Chains A and B, each alone.
Chain A
Amino acid sequence: MAIYFHPWFLLLVMSSGAISEITILPGHDKHGNPESFDRIVIRPGDTLSIVGPTGSGKTAFINDIEVFACNDTSTGRTVLVNGEIPAEEFIRDPSKKPIALITQNTKCLADMSVEAFLAMHVRARKMSGSAIVAETIDLANQFTGEQIHPGCRITALSGGQTRSLMVADAILISNAPLILLDEVENAGIFREKVIEVLKEHCKSVIFVTHDPLVSLLSDRRLVMRHGGVEKILEPDGREFHIREMVARMDLTLCRFRERIRAGELLTEKGFTV
Chain B
Amino acid sequence: MKLIIIAGPPSAGKTAVTRQIIRHFLGKKKCAFLKIDVVRAFEDEELREEFHIPARKIYSGDLCPDHTGVMVLKDAIAWAEGLGTDIFIVESAGLCLRCSPYVTQSLGIVVLSAVSGMNSPLKMGPMISLADVAVITKTDLVSQSEKEVFREKTKEVAPAIDIIETNAIQGTGLRFLMRAIDQQAEITDPATILLRGIPPLGVCTICVGKREIGWQNHFGVVRKLDGADDIFRGD
Contacts and interface: CB of A to CB of B under 8 A. Distances in A.
B26 interface: no
Interface stretch (A120-128, A201-209, A240-248): A120-128
Classify the interface of chain B: helix, strand, loop or mixed. helix
Given A92-B176, A109-B115, A110-B118, A120 B149 contact: yes
Interface in A191-214: none
Contact of A109 (B140, B146, B151, B175): B146
B151 A124 contact: yes
A48 interface: no
Interface string B179-203: 0000000000000000000000000
Nearest to B140: A103
A117 B172 CA distance: 27
Contacts of B173: 67
Interface string A35-69: 00000000000000000000000000001000100
Interface residues of A, number: 30
A121 B175 contact: no
B139 to A, nearest CB: 10
B225 to A, nearest CB: 28
Contacts of B117: 109
Contacts of A107: 141
Interface string B106-143: 00000000010110000000000000000000001111
A72 interface: yes
Interface in B138-185: 140-149, 151-152, 163-164, 172-173, 175-176
A114 B100 CA distance: 35
Given A105-B141, A169-B144, A121 B149 contact: yes
Contacts of B144: 94, 100-102, 166, 169-170, 174
Interface in A160-175: 166, 169-170, 173-174
B152 A72 contact: no
Contacts of A103: 140
A95 B118 CA distance: 18
B143 A92 contact: no
Interface string A87-108: 0100010110000111101011
A70 interface: yes
A109 B145 contact: no
A227 to B, nearest CB: 14
Contacts of B145: 117-118, 120-121, 124, 166, 169, 173-174
Contact of B147 (A92, A94, A120): A94
Interface of B: 115, 117-118, 140-149, 151-152, 163-164, 172-173, 175-176
Given A124-B151, A124-B152, 6 more contacts: A101-B144, A102-B143, A103-B140, A125-B148, A166-B144, A169-B145
Which 4 residue pairs of A and B lie closest in terms of their CB atoms, listed nearest first? A121-B145, A124-B152, A94-B148, A124-B149
6 contacts: A70-B175, A105-B141, A108-B143, A109-B115, A109-B142, A166-B144
